[in-house]
Amino acid sequence: MTSVLHSGEQDSTQRRSGRWLALGVLVLAVLLVAVDATVLGLATPYLSEDLQPSGTQLLWIGDAYSFVIAGLLISMGSLGDRIGRKRLLLIGATAFGLVSVLNAYAQTPEMMIAARALLGVAGATLMPSTLALIRNLFQDSRERTLAIGIWSAAASAGMAVGPIVGGLLLEHFWWGSVFLINLPVMALLVIVGIKMLPESRNPSPGPWDLPSVLLSLVGMVGIVYAIKEAAADGFTWPTLAAGLLGGAALYGFVRRQRRLPVPLVDVRLFRNGGFSGAVLANLLTILGLSGLLFFLSQYLQLVQDRRPIEAGIAELPAAVGAVVAGLIAGAAARRFSVRAVVSSGLAVIGLALAALTTISQSTGYPLLGATLLIVGFGAGLSFTVTSDIILTAVPKEQAGAASAVSETAYELGTALGIALLGSVVTNIYQDFTGPAGTPQAAHESLAGAVVAAARMPADAAAALLHAARESFVGGVALAAGVGAALLLVAAVAAWFLLRGQKLSNEPVQH
């Protein structure tokens, strides 16, 4: 009898440790996808010198990855519910590693944009599977909230770790090395994942609806493209056409989901104010974080002349803040309230961005470091709690589709952060007045101005760099103000939308 009890306890301990080891594999996947969203920021000056993209092409190189992920996440989350989340994760990880090689060896701006888009297709298969598998691995609500906190800390911190990884590689290798790092990590994920991860799927999923997949992709990409172009160049006929096409496709997607017996995503969930508020908070949290990291990477290198590794380490406080907040967010939400924690997270991001409106070419690191720490902490608080709310709002069988909604908000926020705030910076930057003989390439991007200055006489080069940097810093200050306003409005909206919302206290039912 004693040996039977001992054996049962041993099995329970093995299952418990197995869950956390499996979580480690899932965190590795989400960390790498998040790193890839920002690792390019540090490589931008080197890539610009090699491939010589225009300012618009440079934004597309930064955006294409997140645009495609945002367009495909809902479809891929639903596919994982059908064919198995573990299977989709392992297929995606393999594809992610292989496509990374195409990114590393791109020869033209157009090839780079296409390679980034393909990497987005692979990335879209990874993110929903990780969060859905967590829902199935952890049935105890407190354990699940902690697991989601660790997962969200990896997602938020990965965006800040990207520049450090990039900085280390760029100190010793060419810019393509920031993509080749994906190969060994994805190989480890596949090898360990095959053994450690349990398979899970919806037992009666219904068919995978291809028209819904296409409508979702066209809708997301069309809307984000229109916002990006409008921010950069104002409203033009192509921009308006893209926005109308995207809006029509999303309208068609919603109508089709309401008619299908088994939809890709149950759009009726958005009638729930708590669910909608959590999705909105997710999106705007990451918008603030990604936009900040994208333009600060360039600021630290091209304005303050820091080496890549120095710029990467300078952004580390964002990762520290995100990890600490991710680990305490669940306990804080249960002690105070969901809306207090999420609203506070959004508000502190907004206030930190507002402080950056005072930025100049000579701004000291204490202000920058404190801003990054506070933004990372706010993002960790908000993102952990909202991810938990979204994931537990649906039956377990639809975990993939629900986590895809959370991830779509994450990637859409990343794309919009770079597109909206990055376009504000670019728009202001391009109007600077340089010395006589300033080439057009210097007006395309700050990296272009640095390259152009290297070929000019010393006095003219110094005048060009001063004017270009002054204009760029003005754009960063305005973008920070726009981001601050968005986040503070979102904090107020979350306070009302998340009224009465609580974290789940019940175990997940099988």
Tokens of 183: 């190969």
Flag whether pLDDT at 123 surpasses 80: yes
324 & 236 share domain: no
| Distances from the Cα of 457 to the Cα of 87, 88, 427, 452, angstroms | 59, 56, 27, 10
Tokens of 276: 């909608």
What is residue 415's predicted lDDT score, i.e. its pLDDT? 66
The band of 11, judged by pLDDT with boundaries at 50, 70 and 90, is: very low
Contacting residues for 362 by C-beta, under 8 A, at least 6 apart: none
For residue 502, is it within any domain?
A: no
Q: Which residue has the higher pLDDT, 51 or 288?
A: 51
The answer to whether 330 touches 190, Cβ cutoff 8 Å, is: no
3-state secondary structure 183-208: HHHHHHHHHHHHHHCCCCCCCCCCCC
- What CATH number did the domain enclosing 162 receive? 1.20.1250.20
Average pLDDT (48-52) is 80
For residue 7, is it within any domain?
A: no
For residue 503, is it within any domain?
A: no
219 lies in which domain range? 210-259
Q: Lowest mean pLDDT of 203-212, 229-238, 397-406, name the range.
A: 397-406
204 & 296 share domain: yes
454 & 493 share domain: yes
**C-alpha–C-alpha distance, residues 135 and 138, integer Å:** 6
117 & 147 share domain: yes
What is residue 36's predicted lDDT score, i.e. its pLDDT? 72
240 & 265 share domain: no
Average pLDDT (388-407) is 68
174 & 247 share domain: no
466 & 330 share domain: yes
**C-alpha–C-alpha distance, residues 224 and 228, integer Å:** 6
What is residue 404's predicted lDDT score, i.e. its pLDDT? 67
* Residue where one domain finishes, among candidates 238, 259, 280: 259
The band of 244, judged by pLDDT with boundaries at 50, 70 and 90, is: very high
Contacting residues for 9 by C-beta, under 8 A, at least 6 apart: none
* Residue where one domain finishes, among candidates 222, 241, 259: 259
What's the residue count for the chain?
510
**C-alpha–C-alpha distance, residues 144 and 138, integer Å:** 5
For residue 8, is it within any domain?
A: no
Q: Is 84 left (phi over 0), alpha (psi -120 to 50) or beta?
A: left
Crossing angle of helices 2-51/55-83, nearest 10°?
160
308 & 250 share domain: no
For residue 334, is it within any domain?
A: yes
* Residue where one domain finishes, among candidates 228, 259, 290: 259
Name residue, tokens 């939809």. 263
Total domains present in the chain: 2
Name residue, tokens 């418990």. 16
Q: pLDDT by residue (tens digit) across 289-343? A: 677 767 787 788 788 888 777 877 887 888 788 888 888 888 888 888 888 999 9
What is residue 323's predicted lDDT score, i.e. its pLDDT? 81
293 & 418 share domain: yes
DSSP string, 88-156: HHHHHHHHHHHHHHHHHT--SHHHHHHHHHHHHHHHHHHHHHHHHHHHHH--SHHHHHHHHHHHHHHHH
For residue 506, is it within any domain?
A: no
For residue 413, is it within any domain?
A: yes
Flag whether pLDDT at 8 surpasses 60: no
What is residue 393's predicted lDDT score, i.e. its pLDDT? 67
463 & 441 share domain: yes
The answer to whether 431 touches 232, Cβ cutoff 8 Å, is: no
317 & 360 share domain: yes
Contacting residues for 434 by C-beta, under 8 A, at least 6 apart: 442, 443, 449, 463, 464, 467, 468
Q: pLDDT by residue (tens digit) across 456-498? A: 888 888 888 888 889 889 988 998 898 899 889 889 988 888 8
249 & 323 share domain: no
For residue 493, is it within any domain?
A: yes
